[in-house]
Each structure stands twice: as C-alpha cells, then as structure tokens.
Amino acid sequence: MKIIPAIDIIEGKCVRLTQGDYTRKKVYNENPLEVAKQFENQGIKQLHLVDLDGAKSGRIINHRILNSIASNTNLKIDFGGGLKRDEDLKIAFENGANQITGGTIAVKNRDLFLNWLEIYGSEKIILGADVRNQKVAVNGWLEESQFDIFDFLKDYVALGIQYVICTDISRDGCLGGSALELYKNILLAFPSLKLIASGGVTSKAEIVELKKLGCHGAIIGKALYEGRINLNDLKTTI
C-alpha cells in the first residue's frame, strides 16, 4: 500500500484545515518545497498536492508551487484543486503533475470529466470522491451534492475509472481515525478499484488496517505534521 503525504496550499503556504473549514486553518510551513524534500528524504515516492485556493476560486492558482516541487524532487505528484477547464489540466500537466484529481468537475460537468478520461486515460485521471453524510461534496467541500457515494462510484467505475481518492470530510484534520467501515464497504462493492483512503488517518495501526482492507494507498496529512505518525516507522509495516 502506498503512503502518500499531503501538502495543501493556501497563499503559497503549507496548511491543514479541519473538516474542510477554511476558517480553521493552521500554517505548518511557509515553504512547501522544503516540506516535499523532507518527505522525499524519508523515502516517500508520491505526493498529494492540493491547491485549496484553486478549489475555492474554481481555477488553478498554485501551479508555480507544483512546478517548483516537480522540478526539484523526483516525487510523483497527484494534483487537485480548481481543475474546471481544459486549460487547467494543461497547466497542471505542463507544470509537472503525474496525475490529476477531479472531484467537483466530475459532479458539475460530467461530460468534460469523461472527455479528460478519454484523452488522458485512467492512469492519469483520479476521481475525487469527497463525502459528507454519505453524499458527495464539491467546491472545496463547501457544497453538498445530491449524489450518494455508492451510486456515484458505480457510475464512474462502469465508465473506466481506476483510481479514487475518498475523503470522509467529517474526519479530515481531526486526528480521530479514518472511515474504515466506509472503505470496507466501497471495496466490497468495487473490488477492482484502486481506492486511496484520505481523512483522519492517525496511527500506524490504522494504516495496517487500511492495508488489510485492500486500500491501494493512504493519504496522510495532519498526523504527519503533528508527529502522530513517523514515516520511518512505517517502512517495516507497509
């Protein structure tokens, strides 16, 4: 199972939100490249980079930070936040993204998202399925859609999606544990899915449980920044 640290960007700084609330922001480092290099030095191969300014504004904003990390590390970067137009995808890939994550666009403009899937292929396009009360949330988690998570996934799996990042918003940034039951049920329903767990991942033991469930990866944010999880401790586990 892949261990994937998260770097969330607001105003060029590395931050974490609590439950997706922009008013509950904590700045951990003003230099995201420095953080990315630290992760790479600890053996990390992949990075989840989120443009929170972009997610809120509806257009890619922090592409220069993406470029800086891609140019100065060997990390494989999946990039999300504010990807709403063909031009946004072009900018993301030109600035070093290996994959992009589309969440709001998959809900609001299904045809465009499917066009991206056709053009770039399922290895490059990750479906972002952010969940609150079992409904898919959009626009930087500020809006709840009418889509049930399982119906949403069923539709896109049938259309060729391989990778899904699923975040339980109620748990994100709370250090209270991830949605193990939700991930278990998703993988029972869609066993071929490369499911990446996100939100609330807090301990080494929990990561072992996610691996047992069959998760493809686990995104870890606040638990790393707060010292709850040590990447070196995971090397003999995962």
Residues acting as catalytic residues = 8, 130
- 3-state SS, one letter per residue, for 60-77: CCCHHHHHHHHHHCCCEE
CA distance 68 to 73: 8
Cβ proximity of 89 and 118 under 8 Å: no
Which bin fits 79, alpha (ψ -120 to 50), beta or left (φ > 0)?
beta
Only one residue has tokens 């969440």, namely 103
Which amino acid is residue 116, in one-letter code?
W
